[in-house]
Structure 1
Amino acid sequence: MDSGDSRRKWQGIQAITNYKTTSPACDSDASLPDALNDFYIWFKAQNNVAVRKTIPPPYDQVLCLSMADVKRTLCRVNPWKSAGPDNIPDRVLRECAEQLAEVFTDIFNISLCSAVVPTCLKTTTIVLVPKKSMVSCLNDYRPVTLTLIVMKCFERLVMRHIKT
């Protein structure tokens, strides 16, 4: 068996273990959409922690984002991506980066200091994308979450810090 042919390896393992692939039943049960909804709504936990703007001592905070970094990240937003749940187009954030950088820098630094992400930044929309060209049941979809572009920028800034 060729070491680069992973498909044949898996077929061999399935033959040895007598593994049978079964496609999930695609019944027309009306409770399936409700079950999917109940599953995904579980991720929408409430975060009602009040956030106050306080400036922590510099030695207490591990990560403090600069306004220049936030502005640079907002300027790099791809204007052709779809808008998140807030329906704010990416190009608006990109074009208004100069004006928004100070506000988002404060929000991000307060969030990092308090170790709490504001609820409004955690909003997502789950969109079902077909796995196949011919969809015959709900199992033929995969869930994709659309998150806020501002949150993606925040994640990029934190990731950049972690990687360094």
Structure 2
Amino acid sequence: MWQGLQSITDYKKKTSPVTDQDVLLPNRLNNFFARFEDNTVPLTRPATKTCGLSFTAADVSKTFKRVNPRNAAGPDGIPSRVLRACTDQLAGVFTDIFNQSLSQSAVPTCFKRATIVPKKAKVTELNDYRPVALTSVIMKCFERLVKDHITSTLPDTLDPLQFAYRPNRSTDDAIATTLHTALTHLDKRNTYVRMLFIDYSSAFNTISPNWDMRDFCS
């Protein structure tokens, strides 16, 4: 799929060789990872209203059973396979911990720690210096429970053309929809289609949250 898109758009990845002996490397790294940050959005104070969300042991047990046993453990050293094998024994304990965290609007410090490991053993470009953070598997389960609750409360008015992070949808569906729209339009006489492909490298880390795509397109 991606090879086809790259062929259509004539996309060629541009990379520059990187060496540890490069005296300008610190500045190059700074410019690369902060290239989209022009200002910092002020943080808003957290709401003082108590959270009414809570989970049951059945909810936690179901989430533990969905854990991939091959996932690496975080800094707490608790393997994924332990959560799956001992779900019945651990679900009640962590249900109390999760609900206590929600009621106090505070996440335990041990859940927020991460083990930083290199992304690649051999560096070939600046993006390879971006490390991988191994977080607690328990925290991932907690986040999944909260995410499922948030998703269930979303309105049905979400854009039907949003395919990312939605169940039973994928990039294949997005491509099929795009091709169908384009080919349907081309069936008409004297028509043509123009497409703009935008791919942001490391989008979660480099896209400014206060960007407005409408301003970009205009």
Q: Among 83, 86, 93, which residue is 1:103 paired with?
A: 93
Counterpart AA for 1:26: T
**1:84 aligns to 2:58 (yes or no):** no
SS for the counterpart of 1:150 is helix
Mapped to 2, the partners of 1:140 and 1:147 lie a distance apart of 19
Q: Structure 2 length as normaliser, TM-score?
A: 0.48
Whether 2:136 is the aligned partner of 1:148: answer: yes
CA 1:151–1:25: 2 relative to 1, 3 Å: same
- CA distance in 2: counterparts of 1:22 and 1:74, whole angstroms: 41
1:26 aligns with 19
Q: Name the counterpart of 1:159.
A: 147
What RMSD, in angstroms, separates the aligned Cα atoms of the two structures?
3.1
Q: What residue ranges of structure 1 are gaps of 5+ in the alignment?
A: 12-20, 37-59
1:70 paired to 2:27: no
Q: TM-score, normalised by structure 1?
A: 0.62
Alignment of 1:26-45 (within 5 A): 26-28=19-21
Higher strand share: 1
Following TM superposition, the consecutive aligned residue runs of length 4 or more in structure 1 with deviations greater than 2 angstroms are 4-8, 21-32, 133-142
Cα shift at 1:143? 1.3
Q: Which amino acid is 1:163 matched to?
A: T
Give secondary structure in 1 for the equivalent of 2:116.
strand
1:18 aligns with none
| CA distance 1:77–1:25, change in 2 (3 Å) | closer
Task: Return closer, same or farther for 1:90/1:22 CA change in 2, 3 Å cut-off.
Answer: closer
1:121-136 aligned at under 5 Å gives the runs: 121-130=111-120, 134-135=122-123
Give the share of equivalent positions with the same residue, in percent.
52
How many angstroms apart in 2 are the aligned matches of 1:141 and 1:105?
37
Deviation of the 1:128 alpha carbon: 1.2
Distance in 2, matches of 1:28 and 1:79, equals 40
- Provide the C-alpha distance between the structure 2 equivalents of 1:127 and 1:28, rounded to a whole number of angstroms: 21
C-alpha separation in 2, matches of 1:71 and 1:29: 51
Aligned length, in residue pairs: 125
Does the residue aligned with 1:129 lie in a helix, a strand or coil?
A: coil
- Partner-residue secondary structure (3-state), 2:90: helix
